[in-house]
Amino acid sequence: MNSEEFKNQVVLITGASAGIGAAAAIAFGAGGAHVIVHYNSRRDAAAQVVKEIEAAGGSGEIVQADLSHPEGVNTLTAWLKGRDVDILVNNAGSLVRRSRVLEFTPELMEQVLYLNFTSAFFIAQAVLPGMVARKYGAIVNISSVAARNGGGLGALGYAASKAALSAMTKNMAKEFAPSGIRVNTVSPGTIDTDYHRTFSTEQMLNGVKAATPMGRLGTSEEVADAIIFLCSDGARFIQGQAIEVNGGFLMV
């Protein structure tokens, strides 16, 4: 990557205190960007990510909001008013907890859908007017292999929300392409992060490794590389696409 690929650009990454979001934030920093590191509860970790962004050659700041509820999304969108965002990475998301179909509650479904899908829509809606005015911008939504294969047992809400996010990507890509804005998706498989260590057993992870042609889990940095590419000039004619980063786990 050109060391100044993203110089003077402002990048907002949700859920950037750890994992894929943190890796992407640091990578954008290495390209000279100013990165807004959103977090929910890990303030110290988010502050550490900013230090790593600065060490890489960029600049950054942190902002807190709970994106699983309308109030938190309203807090973030209000904070964004008057700020130009050139690149948005909608990365925040979680399964919240595994729940079989007959045990799913309305409250859990609402929380999962809001965190993984609805919040991403309203955050995009908040930054898009500025992108349209400048005739420039890139949005990358972080989906999941679950959007294509339905996810594991107990992950129905998560899988459905990620499928909705993938559909949103294509619709926004059609609407905003004439304004010079590119909207794409990165769809990770099972990545070696705290997320999967929280919601998956060792047996489950070993099963994924066995079913993956490359024989291992992915890394946050490998997903971050795909995000960086989609926001770079090298992807200038890529629009409305989903880049699958799963080591060959799902090829069809």
Residue range 143-157, pLDDT digits in tens: 999 999 999 889 999
Query: Contact 6/230 with Cβ under 8 angstroms?
Result: no
The pLDDT of residue 34: 98
Give 63-104 pLDDT, tens digit per residue: 999 999 999 999 999 999 999 999 999 999 988 989 999 999
**Mean pLDDT of all residues in 112-133:** 98
Whole-structure pTM value: 0.93
Query: Contact 20/220 with Cβ under 8 angstroms?
Result: yes
The pLDDT of residue 20: 96
The pLDDT of residue 206: 83
Query: Contact 186/165 with Cβ under 8 angstroms?
Result: no
All structural domains of the chain: 10-245 (3.40.50.720)
Give the phi and the psi of residue 39 in degrees, each rounded to 5.
-145, 165
The pLDDT of residue 202: 80
**pLDDT band per the 50, 70, 90 thresholds, residue 214:** confident
Beta strand pairing status for 10-13 and 87-90? parallel
The pLDDT of residue 197: 60
**Mean pLDDT of all residues in 45-51:** 98
**pLDDT band per the 50, 70, 90 thresholds, residue 199:** low
Residue 249 to residues 191, 228, 242, 245, Cα–Cα distance (Å): 12, 22, 15, 9
User: What value does the mean pLDDT of the chain take?
Assistant: 93
**Mean pLDDT of all residues in 184-197:** 82
**pLDDT band per the 50, 70, 90 thresholds, residue 129:** very high
Q: Which of 39, 114, 136, 158 is catalytic?
A: 158
3-state class (DSSP) for residue 87: strand
User: Is it the case that residue 1 has pLDDT exceeding 60?
Assistant: no
**pLDDT band per the 50, 70, 90 thresholds, residue 192:** confident
Determine whether 195 is an active site residue.
no
**Mean pLDDT of all residues in 187-204:** 76
The b/e string for 103-113 (b: 16+ C-beta within 10 A; e otherwise) is eeeeeebebbb
Query: Contact 48/56 with Cβ under 8 angstroms?
Result: no
The pLDDT of residue 213: 87
